[in-house]
Structure 1
Amino acid sequence: TNCQVGVSLHLASDHASAAVGWRLFLPGTWDPASPKADPDKVARRTACGIPEDVGHVEKWQLALDMADEVRSWGIEVPLAIADAGYGDAAAFRLGLTARGLHYMVGISTTMSAQRADAVPVCEPYSGTGRPPVPKYPDPARSVKELVTEAGRKAARPVQWREGSRPGTGRSGFKRMYSRFVALRIRPAGREIRQAADGPELPECRLLAEWPAGEPEPVQFWLSDLPAETPLTTLVRLAKLRWRIEHDYREMKQALGLAHFEGRTWNGWHHHVTLVSVAHAFCTLQRLARAPKDTAPA
């Protein structure tokens, strides 16, 4: 909003969620150490109150930094969920793995991968020059192609939660329902190959939503959860991110998140902090009023 981009970290469950961390993204044009530095914008740092030790950091790294901070509070995070803006970044996924965090992240349709049963092979060595290294015989394909190849027959119906519209669910609301395909794949890419322990790329779980009325899959996720994780669990976790979208809608429409018009570093952080506290207070009030059979411990 107003040319300011924030990265937020939320703690979420099936019953509630709250923003617990914020970082203001500083583009490279505002960083004097960046090759993209803009002298006019660098000159405005002092007026904006930007600390001298703050420079350009990629959004996915800001997210990892906040995850480290939350865990330093003694809060164990069992799973990281993010949209495709973060899921497409191999460095972000590798950072989560290095921290021992499982993930369920959105990805774009163009992410490339090998089939899970693909095996790297080594060309015959003629005895001259550098010995060949094992590599996959076929080029990596997009995740959309892999799911389309599996076909509609691979899609399974899943209900993951009750929505807000009246329906036949247990609480009188309509059940959220769609069809999903889950495949084992091996994500490709230079960073993944460099981090791999050996010639084989690591396996991950690809989840794709393919509604009955659609000619092709409409949304994709990537996860490193164990292979025995049920499809219903994968879908529930992938769809849990709706809570964060709901947080943003509530903070913007009811609590003034988008009303900040300042241009200072401290002012922005002050504003998002107060909005987050107000949102957390409203969330606690709702939970206190919730029926006993639905309120979490």
Structure 2
Amino acid sequence: MPSVSLETTLELWSTSLREAKQRMRPLFAAPSVAASANAFLDGLLGGERRKTGWMRAEAAGDPGPWRQQAILGRSHWDADALRDVVRDLAIETLASSDATLVLDETGFLKQGKASCGVHRQYTGSAGKITNCQIGVFAAYVSDQGHAFIDRQLYLPKAWSGNPARRRAAHVPDEIAFATKPQLAMAMIQRAIAAGVPFAWVAADSIYGVGEIEMVLRRASKGYVLGVTGQHSFWSWITERPIAGTAEDIAKGLLETDWIRLSAGAGTKGARLFDWAYLPLATLPASAVDPALDESEWTRGLLVRRSLSDGALAYFTTWCPAGTPVTRLVAVEGRRWAIEDAFETAKTELGLAHNESRSWHGWHRHVSLVMLAFALLTRVRRLANGAPPKTALIATLAGALVGPGDPARGDAAGPAAH
């Protein structure tokens, strides 16, 4: 379907931006704080490449970054409440009963030791162990698009067990050490409790085993979760006995076991791989939990083989009986969406430009970026055409939220707080 006209697109931007500001207005007791949040959102959507406090302040016509900094630190408001606003906006835009919840993490490179959660740890963003923060995220992915709906800063034991560092970074008392899979599991449970419609969960091998599997089975959610080659699989009540590690099982596959399928469209066309799927057992849901119905589900092993170098990746799967391998491949392929979201949020919306060192500052900044991303997703969805280029997104948004624009919802001057 062709894209809508530029005039219509501009109107969608203006209306959607104003609606987003109205949605978050109840989170702020003082009008001045709401105005600061509006200005912060405007700055994230603006055309400046660096979304620092000074850059956002200059775009807003403020004499300094104080108003921008106050919304992350001195003001009193609940970042988790904004997270829920973002989730509701994203679901209204993208809802599908067949959607996938994708879990992943990204790193934020940092200097020094004061920023909350900073530690020498591995991050795929840099491809090495380095000084950084790690954030765990959940993205909602459907045929209509994708957007972030949850996030939490990972707090290493060097932080969670250090009272002095916790006090300095204002870490809430109720926040204890939690592994990344535990953070992801909490996000799944929040989504289920909120009635978020989804049928699948996809994640890489960091999140692929343990309690998450049981939580999803009891919730009647399918999954395609990455595992290492040393993860054990076995079959029962099947014609083809299978037992061993994923790596060993893959070595025994015949060439006829493989099928070439696309994991979705990439920047260079279809992302083609060879895939092998081995159903391991089919059993009623009540076998997992007696409170569940008698619908049948199949546990399986999915193997992906690269066309370029033959490298293998392994996935444990849980799906309604009879689910074709093409559906499992499509679910796994949706993991790419969160990588695209990280790239867009970092390059266009300032996800990595957080200047606050506190726990609250990190979650407030990230939640506002998530709102900006959800807004872009909504405009794209409503336009019902080809996705706008990210440079055009920034240009249009910058034009809409310049100083004095009525979509700002406040005057260009600094707030009195």
**Correspondent of 1:206 among 293, 296, 301:** 301
Amino acid at match of 1:50: V
The share of aligned pairs that are identical, in percent, is 27
Instruction: Measure how far apart 1:288 and its partner are.
Output: 2.6
> Is 1:71 matched up with 2:192?
yes
Aligned mates of 1:290, 1:227 — CA distance in 2? 34
Residue of structure 1 equivalent to 2:367: 273
Aligned mates of 2:238, 2:332 — CA distance in 1? 26
1:189-208 deviations in Å (ceiling 9; x for gaps): xxxxxx899xxxx9621111
Instruction: Measure how far apart 1:72 and its partner are.
Output: 2.6
> Is 1:159 matched up with 2:287?
no
Q: 1:43 to 1:211 in 2, by over 3 A?
A: closer
> Is 1:96 matched up with 2:216?
yes
Secondary structure of 1:43's counterpart equals helix
Q: 1:75 to 1:265 in 2, by over 3 A?
A: same
Instruction: Measure how far apart 1:229 and its partner are.
Output: 0.7
Instruction: Measure how far apart 1:152 and its partner are.
Output: 2.3
Residue of structure 2 equivalent to 1:286: 380
Aligned mates of 1:20, 1:82 — CA distance in 2? 15
Aligned mates of 1:69, 1:75 — CA distance in 2? 9
Instruction: Measure how far apart 1:44 and its partner are.
Output: 1.9
Instruction: Measure how far apart 1:291 and its partner are.
Output: 2.7
Residue of structure 2 equivalent to 1:175: 270
**Correspondent of 1:223 among 310, 317, 326:** 317
8 Å Cα contact 1:7/1:63 also seen in 2: yes
Residue of structure 2 equivalent to 1:122: none
8 Å Cα contact 1:257/1:272 also seen in 2: yes
Q: 1:47 to 1:163 in 2, by over 3 A?
A: closer
Q: 1:277 to 1:159 in 2, by over 3 A?
A: same
Q: 1:91 to 1:73 in 2, by over 3 A?
A: closer
Deviates more, 1:156-165 or 1:219-228: 156-165
**Correspondent of 1:235 among 329, 342, 351:** 329
Flag the structure with more relative contact order, 1 or 2, with Cα contacts below 8 A and sequence separation at least 6.
2
1:46-92 deviations in Å (ceiling 9; x for gaps): 121111111112222222222222233232321111111100x3222
Secondary structure of 2:316's counterpart equals strand
Q: 1:141 to 1:255 in 2, by over 3 A?
A: same
Secondary structure of 2:252's counterpart equals helix
Q: 1:196 to 1:148 in 2, by over 3 A?
A: farther
Q: 1:285 to 1:46 in 2, by over 3 A?
A: same
8 Å Cα contact 1:179/1:211 also seen in 2: yes
8 Å Cα contact 1:14/1:240 also seen in 2: no
Q: 1:90 to 1:156 in 2, by over 3 A?
A: same
Instruction: Measure how far apart 1:28 and its partner are.
Output: 2.4
8 Å Cα contact 1:79/1:102 also seen in 2: yes
Aligned mates of 1:42, 1:5 — CA distance in 2? 20
Q: 1:228 to 1:272 in 2, by over 3 A?
A: same
Residue of structure 2 equivalent to 1:111: 231
Q: 1:70 to 1:214 in 2, by over 3 A?
A: same
Secondary structure of 1:258's counterpart equals coil
Instruction: Measure how far apart 1:244 and its partner are.
Output: 0.7
8 Å Cα contact 1:205/1:227 also seen in 2: no
Instruction: Measure how far apart 1:284 and its partner are.
Output: 1.5
**Unpaired runs of at least 5, structure 2:** 1-107, 111-117, 119-132, 282-287, 291-296, 387-417
| Aligned residue-pair number | 244
Residue of structure 2 equivalent to 1:57: 178
Q: 1:214 to 1:65 in 2, by over 3 A?
A: same
- TM-score of the two chains, using structure 2 as the length reference: 0.54
8 Å Cα contact 1:96/1:102 also seen in 2: yes
Instruction: Measure how far apart 1:255 and its partner are.
Output: 0.9
Residue of structure 1 equivalent to 2:140: 11
8 Å Cα contact 1:11/1:17 also seen in 2: yes
Q: 1:213 to 1:11 in 2, by over 3 A?
A: closer
Residue of structure 1 equivalent to 2:90: none
Instruction: Measure how far apart 1:115 and its partner are.
Output: 3.8
Secondary structure of 2:215's counterpart equals helix
Q: 1:183 to 1:196 in 2, by over 3 A?
A: farther
Amino acid at match of 1:290: N
